[in-house]
Amino acid sequence: MSSFEEDENSFEHTLLVVREVSIYKIPPRTTSGGYKCGEWLQSDKIWTGRLRVVSAKHRCEIRLEDPNSGELFAACFVLPGQREQSVEPALDSSRYFVLKIEDGSGKHAFIGLGFSERNEAFDFNVALSDYEKYVRRESEKEAGNGEANDESHIDIHPAVNHRLKEGETIRINVKHKPAPGTGMLSAAGSGKTNTLGLAPPPSGTGKLRSPLPPPPNDPAAARMTSSVKGSMESTRHASDPLSDFSQLEQNLPSTTGSGSTKSNGAGWAAF
C-alpha cells in the first residue's frame, strides 16, 4: 500500500518545454512596485538552457535543465494558490519574469528569466494557469465525493398513517357542468349567423360604348348610309315648311291677267 502511494505522489506531467531561455542575476528590488528588466545588464546573464514546467500532485515545478545532459541548474516550486510568491512578471516587458528558486534546504534566491519570443512567454503563463485549474478541479471533485457519501446515507422514517380517523369527513367541491344548449355548439346551431354585406352588382343603365366604325370601302355600309341620309332628308322636308317650294308657286298669281296684274305680279315676282 505504501509503494502505491509513493508511485502516485511521484507521478509527474510535463506541461511545457522551452528549448532555450536566459537566466539573469538581478539587483535587489529597491521599491515595492516590482522588477524592471530594463535594469538588467547583458553582462548579468549567468546561464542559458532548457525550461520545463512539470505538474506534480501537490505542486508545480519550473525546472531549469541543461539541454544536453539534463542536469538540473535550479528549480522553482509553485504551490497551489501561491503563484504570485514564486513567479512575478516584469513591469516593463511581457517576456521577462522573476523566479524564486530554492535549494531544498530552506535557502532561496531571486533570478531573472527571459524568453526569446513572446509566444513562449504566453505559453509559460498558460501552463501555470492550467495547473491552477487542475488543482481547483481536483479539490471540487474531492468535495463532491464527500457530499455524495453524505447523501448516500438514507434516513428511514416510520410510515405516516394517512387514513381517516373515526368521525372525520372529506368535502369535495365539484363545479356544475353548463346546461345543454348554452355552449358554443348550441350558438352555432341556432342559425343566427353574421352574414357579410356584399355590394350589389353594377346596374345596366350605364352608358354603353359606341360600336366600332365600319371599314371605309364596305358597300353594305355605304347603302346603309345612303338610306339613312334619305330618311333624314324626308324627315327634314316634312318638318320644315319652307323646304317645299311647290306650294309657294301655287300661291303666286298667274301671268295671263291684265297689265296691272302683270305689273303687280311682275313686281311681286321681282320682289
Nearest alpha-carbon partner for 17 in 64, 57, 60: 64
Q: Give this prediction's pTM.
A: 0.51
Question: Residues with Cβ < 8 Å from 221, sequence gap 6 or more?
Answer: 214, 215
Rounded Cα distance between 64 and 22, Å, is 10
Question: Taking a C-beta distance cutoff of 8 angstroms, is the pair 59, 12 a contact?
Answer: no
Q: List the chain pLDDT tens, one digit each, 271 residues.
A: 444 344 445 678 899 999 999 999 998 887 777 888 888 877 889 999 999 999 987 789 999 999 999 999 999 999 888 888 999 999 999 999 999 998 878 889 999 999 999 999 999 999 999 999 888 888 888 877 666 555 555 555 566 677 777 778 878 888 777 666 555 555 555 555 555 556 666 665 555 555 566 666 666 666 766 665 666 666 665 555 555 555 555 555 555 444 444 444 444 544 4
Nearest alpha-carbon partner for 75 in 65, 84, 88: 65
As given in the structure block, the three cell numbers for residue 210 are 359606341
Question: Residues with Cβ < 8 Å from 52, sequence gap 6 or more?
Answer: 14, 16, 17, 18, 62, 63, 65
Rounded Cα distance between 88 and 69, Å, is 29
Beta strands, E only, the chain = 13-25, 45-55, 60-65, 72-78, 87-89, 96-102, 108-115
As given in the structure block, the three cell numbers for residue 40 are 538588467
Paired with 235 in beta bridges are none
Question: Residues with Cβ < 8 Å from 24, sequence gap 6 or more?
Answer: 37, 40, 44, 45, 46, 111, 112, 113, 114
Rounded Cα distance between 33 and 89, Å, is 11
Per-residue burial over 26-48, b if 16 or more Cβ lie within 10 Å, else e, is: beeeeeeeebebeebeeeeeeee
Rounded Cα distance between 149 and 41, Å, is 58
